[in-house]
Structure 1
């Protein structure tokens, strides 16, 4: 059964497995003190979903905010990378304990998973995370997931838990993700502007949809804004996963969002297979290939990427690394795993297959990126 409205997210028949993402600004009041009353109301709603047969995953921010308050660090623990990592190390214990204690009042066992970008970008580690999530859910536990900020750096991190939630939903084969925010959903312009209208449903995150978003976090406590939520929606909907943005600032926020149907629902634009969904959700590219118009049309028809259509190569990448594919106007077309090193592609770009053996010194492969290792964006 397809998910057609927000109320369907509370239905075990349409949504047997769901991910809820909770941000720092919702969890904590002034001074990094947890808002236990609000959190208890949310946990009661999660327990109700669990009781009616839904398997639930929580992606929770808040470790840095909680740890920095306990350590007395300025700027919410974000004054330096060292402060953030130390704050996370302290806060992760407290955050997991907070969720565990509240879920335990409803007889639910909580599990903690701390993930880095590489855990979901590397295929083997991604499958390991997927297997762990599946077994925990099968056993009746509620996994509580956060980025492992105690070891992540700017170069190897998600940077926000919106995109992490979408990637976790992929790994867990969930049907939906709910991002609890400080606004009701996506508006056609900034919510503070006169005449701003809430979009109830969006099919496909286009350039026009991105233009409606603000990239800043309203609270100053979190790391994401509406832009990161739209990026999460792109990751989710390409994999056949529905994503909702809803206001979490109210008591019992799920009753308001799903019961009263107040929020924005992003419906899937397609359903990629497991491997292509993983490829399409990858966030860190190692290089860039620019292709001509003829190649762009061939890719749109489902073809592989051939050297003859490549006009430019950027980056120092190796065979098997993920690369982005763009057209000459700068539009992103696809991403996939390269069959060649960057230097090899630079030698054979623009060349026909019968010319490539002389340029390479060995028989060429069938494609620079085979269609089985490429996903359209």
Structure 2
């Protein structure tokens, strides 16, 4: 079953779904933005969904849409420039992509502004509801990670609706991870190890364990998986943050009868991941060992034949190795029997 509609506001009553809103207000069912680009409004929902669409209806073309990485190291933003062309900007490498087509726009026209995330493919689409013209931009320069959604505007702007929906399926096995889970440096999404394993993802490039903790409400209330694979660690230079997230995820998933399996993070040549591997094997009996799978025969570096060239990310061969390891692991089909926990509690209570 698809997730479907997550948020659908056709008449704004308050700002309860936002956690930053200085200068913004609600009037006659519409969200009113101030003519001040230093005053954003931010929706409080944290998301790392793989598939989604967000749609805003605005009476001004000066509205700018931001996807603010919760790690705080980059944003992906979308806007219409002074030449009425669609633009996508990625702050990580300061790149901007501009549409060839020009939007026909006259003051007073209503615009339906959409961002569509289909895995690694991001599309920026604007429809002029007055003229029915539609133009699209393939935003190949951006990546969207675990984020919150922000808006700013340089004119007083009326937003009459906001819709957030997802065609991602509920249930199944969900991988929580970073850029390697995202499939970065695999030449196509289908060649990434998560696709090979045929699992879902809640992830993004640059993400760390503190960001993953923010995903827990989305995981429990929206995706509702039966199993979670925790594949963070590569970006966690503070190992205690990663250890804490492992504990928290384990507790929360177990309490909600969701099978939890951690991963020994991938080897990389930029820094040793040996301590992360040692922690997993000392504290968990069931796990996926990506470290041994990707580590060179001696030392702690990533195998040269799996190195995409940046000493961290896997190339196609590396993704294939991890994907095939998962498929052949005895834990690929493992699901915890929570009835055993209930029986143990009963026996402990009955015969203590």
Instruction: Tell which has more relative contact order, 1 or 2 (C-alpha 8 A, sep 6+).
Output: 2
Does the alignment reach a TM-score above 0.5? Answer: no
The TM-score range, normalised by the shorter chain, is: under 0.3
Structure (1 or 2) with the greater strand fraction: 2
TM-score, with structure 1 as normaliser: 0.26
